[in-house]
Amino acid sequence: MTTSRRAHLARSFFAVATVGILLSACTTATQTRGYVVDEELAGAISPGVDNRMSVQDMMGSPSATSDFGDESWYYISRETVTRGFIKERPLTQTVIEVQFDDSGTVSEVQRYELADAEDIKPRSTTTPIRGKTLGFFEQLLRGIGRVGPGGPAGGAGRRPGT
């Protein structure tokens, strides 16, 4: 094979590889995460009729539950799209909130969509503490001499008379 033929093949291979890489960067990936909402089941939950057991039988275990206040179960679903190397963005988001009263009966069912979501920006500041803040070496050196021969409790766990 001649040198010019090899150079032409190398350039052709490079061109095909470059086009392949560029096209792969244009691919679109759609992902669904969380609870897959079944509209018929979600619409069948009746306040005042259903309870925790019947909701769990219909919808399954919730994605999240409330920590404070009235008991609520949340069924969360989100569909996102990613194009190449561009940051992922949401297409749809559905949150079904099922609230229960003190007796465990459904009191209310709410539905939230992507338009109801709020963008929350976490603060990067630190929480101040009272007192002196010790550095790594201060903490390390401060413990020297505090541990006796029997351990931190000064020999707790030794048999009496030894």
Strand partners, 106: 100
More confident site: 14 or 22: 14
pLDDT band with cut points at 50, 70 and 90 for residue 118: confident
What are the E-state strand segments in the chain?
28-34, 64-65, 72-83, 89-100, 106-113
Q: pTM score, two decimals?
A: 0.59
Query: Does the pLDDT value for residue 162 go beyond 70?
Result: no
User: Quick one: three-class SS letters along the chain?
Assistant: CCHHHHHHHHHHHHHHHHHHHHHHCCCEEEEEEECCCCHHHHHCCCCCCCEHHHHHHHHCCCCEECCCCCCEEEEEEEEEEEECCCCCEEEEEEEEEEEECCCCEEEEEEEEEHHHCCCCCCCCCCCCCCCCCCCHHHHHHHCCCCCECCECCCCCCCCCCC
CB 104 within 8 A of CB 72: no
Q: Distance between CA atoms of 5 and 89, rounded to whole angstroms?
A: 47
Tokens of 81: 């799209």
Query: Does the pLDDT value for residue 7 go beyond 60?
Result: yes
- 13, with CB counted inside 10 A (0-12, 13-18, 19+), is exposed
Query: Does the pLDDT value for residue 150 go beyond 70?
Result: no
What percent of the chain stands above pLDDT 70? 83
Query: Considering the chain, what is the average pLDDT of its residues?
Result: 81
pLDDT for the residue numbered 23 = 62
DSSP one-letter code for 115: G
